[in-house]
A and B are shown apart, each in its own frame.
Chain A
Amino acid sequence: MLAASAPVSLSVPDIGLTTPLLSLGRDAKGEAEVPPGEAGSPAGWYKYSPTPGEQGPSVILGHVNTTTIPEGVFYRLHELKPGEQFSVSRADGSVLVFGVDRTEIFQKASFPTLAVYGNTDRAEIRLITCGGYEPSTGEFVENTVVYGHLLSSTK
């Protein structure tokens, strides 16, 4: 596990994705902020979670769609398979490789906060987007959560 350093970009070759990372806080209701909804918007790191590489669940959020086109930054996130790898570059110049442990899909109405954001024994990461598009309302009713853990780092 590593000392804190904010993440600056995320690269997930298996789904053809490279994105810079915004810094996301919380809104007035205490919910995590999300990146802008327009096409081309990057993903973001929830700044009150551990930085990638630190012990605990580092949280990265990205939209599944956009205000104009269906392809948001994480629209292919659900394709990731256990064992596949992705990397995070941090402000201190380090590049961290994470391995996918599993993908879980949760109904938003029963989102299991501690199962996703709870303490962990090692440096872990959560890549989170939405799913379960409901045509009758235009809303997404599920969250897709990719669980990963730190494999190695280089600087």
Chain B
Amino acid sequence: MSLDAINLTKRFFDPKRGEFNAVDSISFSCSKGEIFGLLGPNGAGKTTTLRMITTILKPTAGTAKVNDFDVIAQPRQVRKQLGFVSADTGLYERLTPREILTYFGRLSKYPKEKLKDRIDEITVMLQMEQFVDSRCEKLSTGMRQKVSIARAIVHDPPVIIMDEPTTGLDVLTSQVLHRFVLQCKEIGKCVVFSSHIMSEAEKLCDRMGIIHNGKLLAAGTLEELRRESGMHYLEDIFLSVVKETGSDVT
């Protein structure tokens, strides 16, 4: 159970700027029971990278493999292996969380007879008991994000991709989410987690990659990054790595 990004590249065309690489030959891997963090400022290429892995975007070059399924050649099989959580994914406003989970669970081919128990289990895990039968249009940002996470894992995928999942969340909800990510690791899931919040990455990730201007500048465990940069705090490590490569993060 693993995820391998192999020279992933995404080139976009913008009439004002011409062609540019949003993601430039990025490679990394994440194995079972591991949390890999993609760190970088806004617009660094984190979301584009994760969207290529989740088959939402087609890579211009390179590829990614999820449990040995290729994102280009076998996108449907890849989707079966994945759960995708993003800060900007929406919910069906007039459905309740339970209805949404049933919908996604059934379409993801989760066994019908086990689906109700699975939804109850996730409801307890993410502390959603209070609002699981309320319409989504009435839910707060934190509640909605919990539903979004629940929707991503309802079919019990082995690989979970999270794109800045704590954006806009309060401390308490972020705590629940952090606990959930660690739980995923404990039960052997492969988790790829993107963030621009360094403290969050420090707390959760086993290994991390620093991404900037579409390039992966450094990757390793926190200790390895500390050794290489000679700095202690991840924020300082990040700034030094970026400066070393001559990039500007202002």
Q: Do A and B come from one complex?
A: no
